[in-house]
Amino acid sequence: MMPDLFEGDARQALDEGAVLLRGQALPIDTMLLAAIETISSQSPFRRMTTPGGFQMSVAMTNCGSVGWVTDRSGYRYAARDPDRDTPWPAMPPQFAGLAGDAARQAGFAGFSPDACLINCYEPGARLSLHQDKDEQDYRHPVVSVSLGLPAIFQFGGLRRTDRPQRVPLRHGDIVVWGGPARLAYHGVLALKDGVHPLVGRRRLNLTFRKAL
Ligand SMILES: O=C(O)CCC(=O)C(=O)O
C-alpha cells in the first residue's frame, strides 16, 4: 500500500466524487515507466479507429484481463489484443496496488481494476470530451495516472453541455472519479510540445477501470 505522503495540500476535490491526488505516483514513476515499456513491446501502441471512421490522435495499448478497444463496429472491452490475437499483457501488481490505494484515498475502498488502458499522447494529440460507459457496473470508480509532459484535463458534469473545469495535470498526478461523478464528461486538450526528463516528448496516461 502506498503511504499517504501527499494528502493534505496535495489533495484537491474537483467535484463530489472526484479528487485530484497531486504527485501520488511519483514514488514509483520509474517502475511504472519501465513496465509500460515492457507492455508496449508486447502489445504496441496503435492509433485506433472510432465507430465513425476517424483515427484517434492518441495511441493506445492495454494491460489486464481485458482491454478497451474501438473500431468501426464500436467501443468495447476485449480479452485479446485484436492486432496480435493474443491476450493483453498482464497487469503488474504494482499498477493495481497504486490504483486501489488512490481509489481508497478518494473514498472508494476495495477497487480492484481488471483493465488498464495506456494512452500515449504526442504533441498535438487530444481526447475529446466523453463519458466512460463501456463498463458493466458504474459503482466502481475510474483512476487516471499522468506521466510525462503536462496536460490540461477537462472535467465537466453529467451533460456534454456542462462547462468543464480545466485542470492542469503533471507527471505523477492521479485523478479519481466515481459515485455521483462516475459518468462525468472529461477529456484532454491538445498536448503542448515539450520534453520531459524521464518520458521525452510524450505524455503517458494509465486509466484503470473495472470493466467486467
Ligand atoms: O489522458 C487522460 O488524462 C484521460 C484519459 C481518458 O479520459 C480515458 O482514457 O478515458
pLDDT digits (tens, 9 = 90+) for 18-48: 999 999 999 999 999 999 999 999 999 999 9
Domain range for 96 is 11-209
Examine residue 4 and state whether it is found in any structural domain, yes or no.
no
Residue 39 in contact with ligand 1 by CB distance below 6 A: no
For residue 56, CA distances in Å to 104, 163, 205 come to: 32, 23, 15
Residue 132 in contact with ligand 1 by CB distance below 6 A: yes
Examine residue 182 and state whether it is found in any structural domain, yes or no.
yes
| Averaged pLDDT, 112-135 | 98
pTM exceeds 0.75, yes or no:
yes
Residue nearest to atom 7 of ligand 1 (CA): 187
Give the pLDDT confidence of 143-169 residue by residue, as tens digits.
999 999 999 999 999 999 999 999 999
Cell of 205: 496516461
Q: How many domains does the chain have?
A: 1
| Averaged pLDDT, 182-186 | 98
Residue 9, pLDDT score: 63
Residue 1: pLDDT above 50? no
The CATH number linked to 121 is 2.60.120.590
Alpha carbon of 187 to ligand 1 centroid (Å): 6
Give the pLDDT confidence of 62-77 residue by residue, as tens digits.
999 999 999 999 999 9
Residue 117 in contact with ligand 1 by CB distance below 6 A: yes
